[in-house]
């Protein structure tokens, strides 16, 4: 019998979440394959994949789990997609370096429940249409802010030379790290985009037990 079950895959950069599903389809040819939450092409880390009807039914529960992200914010530059794949739309040079304390204080203001406007380039629907489809056409995208919950937010690194901040967060579903980086930069009186993004955990599923793309074929055909 062909493989059925839940897989945690470590998505590499430069491919879409759907590319991972296509790769799996090529290996086992199954119809019912889904994932529990998109990771942008520039992002890496945990992608939960469900194979088989019995398991795709469980995807919603995975989607609802809290997630841990480690990400880097590039301060001083704004891009159209809020990530490194877009075009630079504005620059706001930073004259004096920030202090660790001021950055930590800013990060703490995002702890708990806050309002967040999703990115224009996102799968959010506006009157039935995907926001990214409208954004790609150059249309103005107005998205309603939603309530997000961040349980933990920690500063990992601040490099005053490159003006990059690295953080780790643990949050509830619906949190867009790309919007969070934008908002953190605004609070620091500048602009910013998410330069790197790693989804380190979905619920208790962590990177150390995730399969790489190369390991998929072996894992799926072993049964």
Partner 1 sequence: MAIKLITYGHKKKPKSLGLGVFDGIHKGHQAILSQCDALLTFNPHPVTILHNTITLDRLTTVEEMTHYIPQLFVLEFNKMIANLSAQDFLNKIILEKINPSHIVIGYDYHFGKNKEGTPELFKQWCNSHNVPITIVEPISNTDQIIKSKAIRTHLKEGDVNQALNDLGHPYLMIGTVIKGDSRGKELGFPTANLKFPTEKLIPKKGVYKGNITIENKPYKTMIYIGNRPTFNTKTTTVEAFILDFKGNLYDQTICLYIEQYLRPEKTFPNKEALISQINQDTQNAYGP
* CA angle at 82 for the pair 77 and 86, rounded to the nearest 5°: 85
Pick one of 145, 159, 189, 218: the residue that binds partner 1 (CB under 8 A): 159
Nearer to partner 1, 16 or 102 (CB): 102
Question: Is 183 an active-site residue?
Answer: no
175-214 footprint of partner 1 as x/- string (CB under 8 A):
----------------------------------------
Query: Is 72:180 a contact under the CB 8 Å cutoff?
Result: no
Pick one of 28, 134, 155, 207: the residue that binds partner 1 (CB under 8 A): 155
CB of 67 to partner 1, least distance (A): 17
Give all strands (DSSP E) within 30-182, no chain letters.
33-35, 44-51, 67-75, 77-79, 88-91, 112-116, 125-126, 129-130, 146-159, 164-171
Residue 154 has a CB neighbour count (10 Å cut-off) of: 14
Nearer to partner 1, 103 or 216 (CB): 103
Task: Work out whether strand 88-91 and strand 77-79 pair parallel, antiparallel, or are unpaired.
Answer: antiparallel
Sites for partner 1 among residues 69-128 (CB under 8 A): 95-96, 99-101
CB of 157 to partner 1, least distance (A): 4
Query: Is 200:65 a contact under the CB 8 Å cutoff?
Result: no
Nearer to partner 1, 145 or 160 (CB): 160
How far is it, in rounded angstroms, from Cα 147 to Cα 139?
25
How far is it, in rounded angstroms, from Cα 21 to Cα 33?
7
Of these residues, 40, 83, 208, 214, which one is catalytic? 40
How far is it, in rounded angstroms, from Cα 39 to Cα 140?
24
Query: Is 178:205 a contact under the CB 8 Å cutoff?
Result: no
CB of 188 to partner 1, least distance (A): 13
CB of 75 to partner 1, least distance (A): 15
Pick one of 114, 154, 187, 206: the residue that binds partner 1 (CB under 8 A): 154
Nearer to partner 1, 24 or 107 (CB): 107
Nearer to partner 1, 99 or 209 (CB): 99
Contact set with partner 1 (CB under 8 A)? 95-96, 99-101, 154-162, 166
Q: Which residues form the catalytic set?
A: 40
């Amino acid at each position: 019998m062909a493989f059925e079950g839940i897989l945690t895959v470590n998505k590499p950069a430069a491919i879409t979440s759907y590319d991972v599903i296509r790769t799996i389809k090529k290996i086992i040819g199954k119809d019912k394959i889904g994932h529990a939450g998109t990771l942008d092409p520039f992002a890496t880390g945990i992608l939960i994949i469900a194979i088989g009807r019995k398991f795709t039914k469980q995807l919603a529960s995975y989607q609802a789990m809290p997630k841990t992200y480690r990400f880097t914010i590039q301060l001083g530059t704004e891009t159209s997609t809020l990530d490194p794949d877009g075009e630079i739309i504005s620059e706001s040079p930073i004259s004096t370096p920030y202090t660790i304390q001021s950055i930590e204080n800013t990060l703490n203001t995002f702890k708990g429940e806050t309002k967040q406007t999703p990115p224009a380039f996102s799968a959010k629907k506006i009157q039935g249409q995907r926001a990214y489809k409208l954004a790609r056409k150059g249309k103005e995208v107005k998205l309603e802010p939603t309530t997000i919950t961040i349980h933990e937010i920690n500063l990992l690194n601040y490099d005053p030379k490159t003006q990059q901040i690295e953080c780790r967060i643990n949050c509830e579903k619906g949190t867009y790290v790309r919007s969070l980086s934008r908002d953190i930069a605004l609070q620091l009186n500048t602009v910013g985009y998410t330069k790197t993004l790693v989804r380190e955990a979905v619920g208790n599923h962590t990177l150390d037990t995730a399969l790489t793309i190369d390991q998929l074929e072996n894992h799926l055909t072993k049964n």
